[in-house]
Amino acid sequence: MSRSLVWLFAVAALAPALAAGCSKSPSEVVPDHAGTTAAADSKGAGPVGPMLADDQLRLLTAPAGDDVAEIIKAERARQAALGRSLLVYAGAKWCEPCQHFHKAAAAGKLDQAFPKLTIVEFDVDVDGDRLRRAGYRSQFIPLFVVPDENGRATDRRVEGSVKGDGAVDEIVPRLKRILSSS
């Protein structure tokens, strides 16, 4: 068999896997409560790894390069159909309160407080411009915002937190307030 045909067959065999890696929907990262995470497939069909419980906080990593409002609008509708609330989160790897929040989420410590909450996560260092275009502006991070039906930011938000071990305890009641207000 010629080298060209071998390459053609190899590319044809890999095409479905390569196409799946180009998804424009958020990819889900769910806590496995052992300090690590398991990713859901790009179509949101379910986790790769442990099964998702319906009553746990879910973190979705937003895809790069797309209009934030459109991403959030579509994800808000998808989560509503699942009986879940949606929150937009903007943070950074270097942000100490953000690190504490992620650690608590990965350990399952936020599942009881937010059993039907899905958070779409953005990195302000990467996504800052596109977040601002959709109204997700803040002076401080972490930023948590309840989106409107068009995927844009509302004034129902939490900005910033304390540093140190008390960050999560300071963030949780504030999140509960914005999620419960109409």
Provide the pLDDT for residue 52.
Answer: 53
List of domains in the chain: 24-180 (3.40.30.10)
The answer to whether residue 37 scores a pLDDT higher than 70 is no
DSSP track, the chain? --HHHHHHHHHHHHHHHHHHTT--SPEEEEE-SSS-EEEBPTTSS-BSSSPPPTTS-EEEEPPSSS-HHHHHHHHHHHHHHTT-EEEEEEE-TT-HHHHHHHHHHHTTTTTTT-TTEEEEEEEHHHHHHHHHHTT---SSSSEEEEE-TTS-EEEEEEE---SSTTHHHHHHHHHHHHHH--
Give yes or no for residue 76 having a pLDDT over 70. Answer: yes
Q: Is the pLDDT reported for residue 13 higher than 50?
A: no
Q: Which helix (H) or strand (E) holds 2?
A: none
Where residue 6 falls among pLDDT bands split at 50, 70, 90? very low
Q: What is the pLDDT of residues 43-73, one digit of tens each?
A: 343 332 234 567 899 999 998 777 999 999 9
Alpha carbon 13 to its chain centroid, in Å, reads 31
Higher pLDDT, 2 or 77: 77
pLDDT of residue 145: 98
- Provide the mean pLDDT of the chain: 78
177 pLDDT tier (thresholds 50, 70, 90): very high
